[in-house]
Structure 1
Amino acid sequence: MENNLVQPLIAAIISAAIAARSYRKKSLDFSGAISGFAVMTIHIAVNYRFGAVLLVFFFTSSMFTKFGEDKKQKVDADFKEGGQRNWIQVIYNSGIGTILVLTVWTVAGSEDYCLNSKESSLLTFLIGGIIGQYCCCNGDTWSSELGILSDDQPRLITTFKPVRKGTNGGVTKAGLVAAAAGGSVIGVTFVALGFVTTNCSSDIALKQLLLIPISALSGLCGSVIDSLLGATLQYSGFCSVRNKVVGKPGPTVKRISGLSILDNNGVNLVSVLLTTVLTSFACSYIF
């Protein structure tokens, strides 16, 4: 019984420390810190690799969010110091992954597995979905946070016409490369730890390396889906008073693109869901 409690206890201690630090550093507001603590605890308690993937996403995204804050403040109408995220953003960026993590726990407990459809197609599908969730979120965040700092002229993904920085659906070459890099980091983390935590045959273990290019594609795919949704279902307009691109129409706002159907959280949720499903099927087919 004591052994069964060790991992959840470690998970709670690590999560509490990270949540408290993130609140002090303004990466999370109070509601974000509480929800972040719960999400982190679940991931780490179920499987250390799941926890590592979540933490790599959180720390790298928070780090890049803080890059070039002075420049971003001049462009981003919703700029917050430190990129402070609330509970809604935490849930939208990790809710699907958390559900999948809990599902894996009900199926296999905390035992670690290699991706191998011949041994368990369900676990391979579920774990592929978890990877897809965080490849999408990490890729999209890296793309947004680093792309906006690029000197490249953003182009609307649906028309390829030049648009102002901060326009939903605007993409740059630097942003697309960053999205693939953000996804690949998730894959590298999961695969590298797997060599230590799993006990698979040499051929199956070697095959896990294919997850890295899959993760890079998932990060890129998630970012592209996010941009397509942002360009079509999310409103972008230029406010002549604030001199910034904004997400809501108004008397001083000239429309650039999109419809007021989804907000940023809605776009994130749909892109995560689609990328999760696509990555699950890709892993099931390849592994």
Structure 2
Amino acid sequence: MRHRLRRAGGFAAVATLALAAPRFGWAAAAPFAAVAVLAAFVVDDGPLFELFARPGDHEDGRLNGLAGFGLAATGLAILTAVREAPMPDGVFVATVLLVAFGNLGHELVRTHTTDEFLTTVGFLAGGFLAGTAGQAAAAAVADSLVPARVPEFVFLAAVGALVAALFRSVLFARDDALVMVTVAFLLWLFAALVGTVSATTVAVGLAVAVAFGWLSYALDVASITGMLTGVLLSAVTVVLGGYGWFVVLITFFAVGGLSSKFRYEVKRERGVAEDNDGARGTGNVLGNATVALVAVVAAAAAARFLPGRVVLGWPVHDLLAFAFAGSLAAAMADTLSSEFGGLFDDPRLVTTLEPVDPGTDGAVTWQGELAGVVGAALVGAIAAVLMPVGSATTGVGFLVVAGAGVVGMSVDSLLGATVEGDRFGNQTVNFLATLSGAIAGVGFALAAFVALLAV
């Protein structure tokens, strides 16, 4: 246990070399390149080897983890010195520090407890603090450290820590190099989009997102990875989209999550319950909310780089708001139709209307369809009041979003009856259904505008 902590401390010490980037530019890659060479070809025994060695390194006779860490940092450092659109120094420094110090925070907590939730909190705390401090240090060296930039630093550090915690636990366990590269490019994107953001927006957004994430985990509505994914999506949505977008997203997470718990024992006996006691994991969250995430990021990009651009009378930003709301209306409708429909007998296959067993892919009941329509209408109502979809006519915005949700729910049922299982998994079907809802939302909005012009 202590060895793991010492190793994490050693990686954190190496990571501090990133602080040279704002002063030395591309030359800051040299120390990391040297570390990679030494780890891969020189240090194969002795105290340094024992300090940085991971379980598989003794068998290979080289420090693979440290070599990968050094190579990833070398490549990212070089990107800070390219002539056109270089990676910001703050992004590079924050990425390297938050991954290394996040691991240190994880191991520090692990010396006291192996509880996965608490060790994840340790990673997030260490990564967040190091990422924020790293950006501030880089800005200070560049003489650009002003109070107005602190909320930006906090947001990027929080997003980076969440992404790193999620990827290291789900996709790239123990592979710091891949985690580092992934985090760096995502933060590079968000740094270009976030611009000037108020301290209130960041503070409220992060506080509510974290509180909701903890509550969802405490109520067993989401697993730890599902919680991380939900907090990440919530934080990005509230900062890049705004409070209205955030309320729509949270409504789906809350209502959808609680619906999976509704009469769970009955659904389990009928063979239609979600796995993991109904707790939503990363795959489920991403399957239902990836399209919404892309839409809110694209909307932020449109607002920043295409201000005032319109398509058939609709601002591009507002059309992307319809895509966001339509995708979540589809996710809500599909979730409620499945969770409530599975409680009733006599389901029928949506393509042939023949009776089938409960839980059959593509099976529907009229009660489930009604619940789905109500869910789509709920999202439509909130979006029409709080989002740009109601900027022309609130009633039109409501009908467009609710209609898009019903389309997405229907597509999910059709795909479930025709291709799910042999060719596509449930999460892929969910993604395609929400994509259909987003496309329908944009299409209905354009059609509605043309119709209003004709009148």
- What 5-or-longer segments of structure 1 have no aligned partner? 236-259
Quote the offset at 1:188 in angstroms. Answer: 0.6
Matched, 1:188 2:350: no
- State which of 145, 164, 169 in structure 1 corresponds to 2:362: 169
CA contact (8 A) 2:318 2:389 kept: no
The aligned counterpart of 1:274 is 436
15, 23, 39: which is aligned to 2:217?
Answer: 23
User: What is the CA–CA distance in structure 2 between the aligned matches of 1:29 and 1:63, rounded to whole Å?
Assistant: 14
Partner of 1:61: 256
Distance 1:10 1:229 in 2: 39
Contact 1:36 1:90 in 2 (8 A): yes
Secondary structure at the aligned position of 1:261 is classed as coil
**Normalising to structure 1: TM-score of the pair?**
0.81
1:179 aligns with 2:365: no
In structure 2, C-alpha distance between the alignment counterparts of 1:32 and 1:40, rounded to whole Å: 12
Amino acid at match of 2:267: K
Counterpart residue number, 2:72: none
Change (3 A) 1:12 1:150: same
Q: CA deviation at 1:120?
A: 4.0
> Contact conserved, 1:136 with 1:221, CA < 8 A, in 2?
yes
Work out the percentage of aligned pairs sharing the same amino acid: 24
* Corresponding position of 2:15: none
Aligned to 2:82: none
- In structure 1, the residue matched to 2:265 is 70
For the 8 Å contact 1:181–1:219, the answer to whether it is kept is: no
2:198 alignment partner, SS class: helix
Correspondence for 1:98: 293
Residue type matched to 1:176 in 2? E
- Gaps in structure 2 of 5+ consecutive residues: 1-147, 152-196, 450-455
CA contact (8 A) 1:124 1:283 kept: no
Give the conservation status (yes or no) of the 8 Å contact 1:117–1:124.
Answer: no
The 1-side partners of 2:427 and 2:273 are apart by 13
Change (3 A) 1:119 1:79: closer
Give the structure with higher Rg (CA).
2
Higher relative helix content: 2
Amino acid corresponding to residue 270 of structure 1 in structure 2: L
Tell me how far 1:53 sits from its aligned partner: 0.4
In the aligned structure 2, how far is the partner of 1:198 from the partner of 1:54?
A: 15
Q: Of the two structures, which has the highest relative contact order with CA contacts closer than 8 Å and spacing of 6 or more? A: 1
2:340 corresponds, among 146, 165, 170, to 146
Q: TM-score, normalised by structure 2?
A: 0.52
Structure 2 match to 1:215: 401
Corresponding letter in the other structure for 2:396:
L
After TM superposition, give the deviation of residue 66 of structure 1 in Å: 1.1
- In the alignment, is the contact (CA less than 8 A) between 1:104 and 1:126 conserved in 2? yes
Rounded to whole Å, the distance in 1 between the matches of 2:238 and 2:331 is 18
- What are the superposed Cα offsets for residues 137-190 of structure 1, whole Å, 9 maximum, x if unpaired? 000001001111124x11001111000110010011111111111111011111
CA distance in 1, matches of 2:301, 2:200: 18
Give the number of aligned pairs.
250
Measure how far apart 1:216 and its partner are.
2.5
- CA deviation after TM superposition for structure 1 residue 50, in Å: 0.7
| Residue 224 of structure 1, CA deviation | 1.1
Residue by residue, what CA displacement relative to the aligned partner does 1:105-139 show, whole Å, maximum 9, x if unpaired?
12225xxx9xx966643123211100111011000
Inter-partner Cα distance in structure 1 for 2:401 and 2:389: 19
Query: Match of 1:129?
Result: 323
Instruction: State whether residues 322 and 401 of structure 2, in contact with CA within 8 Å, keep that contact through their aligned partners in structure 1.
Output: no
> Aligned letter for 1:185?
L
